[in-house]
Amino acid sequence: MEDSPEYYVKSVEKAFDVLRAFDPEHPRLTVTQVAARSDMTRASARRFLLTLTDLGYLRTDGALFELTPRSLEIANSYLANLALPRVAERHLKSLAADLNETTALCILDGQDIVYVACVPSPRLLSVSISVGTRFPAWATSMGRILLAALPETELESYLEGVNLERLTQQTIGSPEKLREEIELARSRGWAMVSQELEDGLRGVAVPVRSGNKTLAAVNVSLQTHRAPADTIEKTVVPHLQDAARHIGQDYGGRTP
């Protein structure tokens, strides 16, 4: 962090860099790997890893390190104080049962959307997503409906800085096309993204509002072969809108 204020503690930043080095693709890492992913020397990485192990946030077999359940404490404290997921849970369960698909509640966090509540499909084969999962906002239905709710200046800033990575052959390719999709989502009040994040997967989302404020997005994940695109507006969107309306009302405000 450049031009840090006087109070800034660099070692705290580095400790979190070490913890963030571990992710679903890299659950177990050596000291050398952590040093490379955290942009620090091997000696520094080793000291942070051993300290975090002593504190219980990591464990090691001597060569490889991995996170422990204690690393969830910070996230769980945040979620425990976030009322919206608790309010949404029963409505997501009802929605999942109605559609027989995985449903979720997401918020916008910088360039990404973050899952803050998720109910898996009643079917055995379902989309595997958990609370805390992050995806680029531009590649998801939840992200596009939440971007559509941003003030114009914030949306412009987002579009100017977005990095559109090719995730599938269907992934959107330009900020101009992304803006068109966001405007479409804004005009019709729901968003659909087909096979842009993952082949064979379609996402549909609507906003959750309290009064005139957009709080989050409710989403359903569908296998493309189970839900033809031309039927989504009639067969899926009304269920999502009902769930979103009930969540917004229970949270504390009626949507005009």
Mean pLDDT per segment of 10 residues, for the chain of length 256 residues? Answer: 77 94 92 95 96 95 92 71 82 91 91 90 63 89 94 91 84 88 94 86 91 90 77 90 91 54
Interstrand relation of 201-210 and 213-223 (parallel, antiparallel or unpaired): antiparallel
Enumerate residues 6+ apart whose C-beta is below 8 A from 146: 106, 107, 108, 113, 137, 207, 214, 216, 217
* pTM as predicted: 0.68
Report domain extents, the chain: 10-72, 82-251
Confidence (pLDDT) at 2: 57
| CATH number assigned to the domain with residue range 10-72, chosen from the 4 options 1.10.10.10, 3.30.70.20, 2.40.50.140, 1.10.1660.10 | 1.10.10.10
d(CA 219, CA 133): 14
Confidence (pLDDT) at 254: 44
Enumerate residues 6+ apart whose C-beta is below 8 A from 80: none
d(CA 66, CA 160): 37
82-251: CATH number? 3.30.450.40
Confidence (pLDDT) at 128: 64
Enumerate residues 6+ apart whose C-beta is below 8 A from 227: 202, 235, 236
